[in-house]
Copies of this chain bind each other. A is one copy, B any other.
Amino acid sequence: MTTRNAVQSKRRSGLRDPVEQLRRMFEIRYFEEEIVGLFSEGLVHGTTHTCQGQEALNVGLAVTLNSDDFVACTYRSHGFALALGLTPEAALGEIMGRTTGCIGGVGGSMHLSAPELGLLPTFAIVGAGLPIAAGAALAFQTRGEKRVAVAVFGDGAANIGAFHEALNLASVWKLPVIFLCDNNLYGEYSRIETTTSVVDIAQRASSYSMPSEIIDGMKVDEVIASLNRAIDRARSGGGPTLIEAKTYRYAGHSRADLATYRPEGELESWLPRDPILVRQNELVASGVLTLTQVEKISEEERAGIARVIEFTRNAPFPQPDAIFKNIWTG
């Protein structure tokens, strides 16, 4: 555990380096791509929700927060967990239900947790993370701490009551919380305009007299800059912010969903904006990396994930006693 903590804090702090950011995005991408295969193999039980294409948001959030800030994410959080520093072993172990998982393999893909990194148990109920993040911010405010909480949620979640109640409460109490909407255009199999009465989720901030921003969620630098503005506001007592990041969900909603409901060519139209591609081009253009070096990083990450999978295939399953632990708070 402590060694894992050491590795994790290094993974977290190292992320300030743009090259590490690129590396982490590769890690997340390959991790998610492999999950789909493991699911088909039957090694991932139940369901899983991957985030290919949204790596800039994952990494951007991790770069801007301190480890004692709190983050409430959703079932679609492998990428956020890895970005925040969780080891791929701890993430995959949980997803594959092994004792090496971050909660010992009794939670599964929707339930990652890493208190040491500020990651609250990820939320499987749409909207639930928003009031709870506001509550963490309430604790920080009440104790006069400069910490912040972030709630990450989807476009679809912006239609549920908890969204409305949480934003109003956060605004009335001026809580140090950031509401980060990951607008990937779909809630399950439904495109946003079929379920949502506004074009931009950010527009709803006016209902709470709350500052808001709309950003390109495919650009890690834009994510970082926007979050920094909101976090500074929150830390300095300026209250909550609603940020809408425009992203795209490359894969289907969950496990084997092929997303055949998407309009012809929609995915393709997003690929040129791929967050990894964008970041790597920037780094190459500015001479920080050569294409060969990028290739090398990519291959290293691909190989790393392969090793993690090998490791986890052989990791033990939890024993029956695991079911009876951590139910009643001692």
Taking beta carbons and an 8 Å cutoff, which residues of A are in contact with B?
Answer: 159-165, 167-168, 171-172, 194-198, 203-204, 206-210
Instruction: Report the minimum CB–CB distance from A308 to chain B (whole Å).
Output: 40
Instruction: Report the minimum CB–CB distance from A220 to chain B (whole Å).
Output: 29
Asked whether A172 lies within 8 Å of B160 as measured between CB atoms, the reply is no
Copies of this chain present in the complex amount to: 2
Instruction: Report the minimum CB–CB distance from A268 to chain B (whole Å).
Output: 28
Q: How far is the CA of A167 from the CA of B158 in the complex (A)?
A: 13
**The one of B162, B203, B207 that contacts A198, using a Cβ cutoff of 8 Å:** B207
**The one of B164, B171, B197 that contacts A209, using a Cβ cutoff of 8 Å:** B197
Asked whether B194 lies within 8 Å of A172 as measured between CB atoms, the reply is yes
* Seed contacts A172-B195, A197-B209, A206-B207; 7 additional CB < 8 Å A-B pairs: A161-B165, A163-B164, A168-B197, A171-B197, A172-B196, A172-B197, A206-B206
Q: How far is the CA of A197 from the CA of B167 in the complex (A)?
A: 9
- Ordered by A's residue number, 20 sampled pairs between the chains whose C-beta atoms are within 8 Å are A159-B164, A159-B165, A159-B168, A160-B161, A160-B165, A161-B161, A161-B165, A164-B164, A164-B165, A168-B196, A171-B197, A172-B194, A172-B196, A198-B207, A198-B208, A198-B209, A204-B207, A206-B206, A206-B207, A207-B207
Instruction: Report the minimum CB–CB distance from A176 to chain B (whole Å).
Output: 16
Instruction: Report the minimum CB–CB distance from A178 to chain B (whole Å).
Output: 16
**Interface centre among A159, A161, A208, A209, by most B CB within 10 Å?**
A161
Q: How far is the CA of A160 from the CA of B161 in the complex (A)?
A: 7
Q: How far is the CA of A194 from the CA of B169 in the complex (A)?
A: 10
Q: Which residues of B contact A206 (CB under 8 A)?
A: 198, 203, 206-207
Q: Which residues of B contact A208 (CB under 8 A)?
A: 197-198
Q: Which residues of B contact A203 (CB under 8 A)?
A: 206-207
Task: Name the CB-closest residue of B to A159.
Answer: B168
**The one of B160, B195, B197, B207 that contacts A197, using a Cβ cutoff of 8 Å:** B207
Q: Which residues of B contact A196 (CB under 8 A)?
A: 168, 172
10 tightest CB-CB pairs across the interface, nearest first? A161-B161, A164-B164, A171-B197, A197-B208, A204-B207, A207-B207, A168-B197, A159-B168, A197-B209, A161-B165
Task: Name the CB-closest residue of B to A199.
Answer: B209
Q: How far is the CA of A162 from the CA of B206 in the complex (A)?
A: 19
Instruction: Report the minimum CB–CB distance from A287 to chain B (whole Å).
Output: 46
Q: Which residues of B contact A194 (CB under 8 A)?
A: 172
Q: How far is the CA of A164 from the CA of B198 in the complex (A)?
A: 13
Q: Which residues of B contact A165 (CB under 8 A)?
A: 159-161, 164
Instruction: Report the minimum CB–CB distance from A190 to chain B (whole Å).
Output: 11
Q: Which residues of B contact A162 (CB under 8 A)?
A: 161
Q: Which residues of B contact A167 (CB under 8 A)?
A: 197
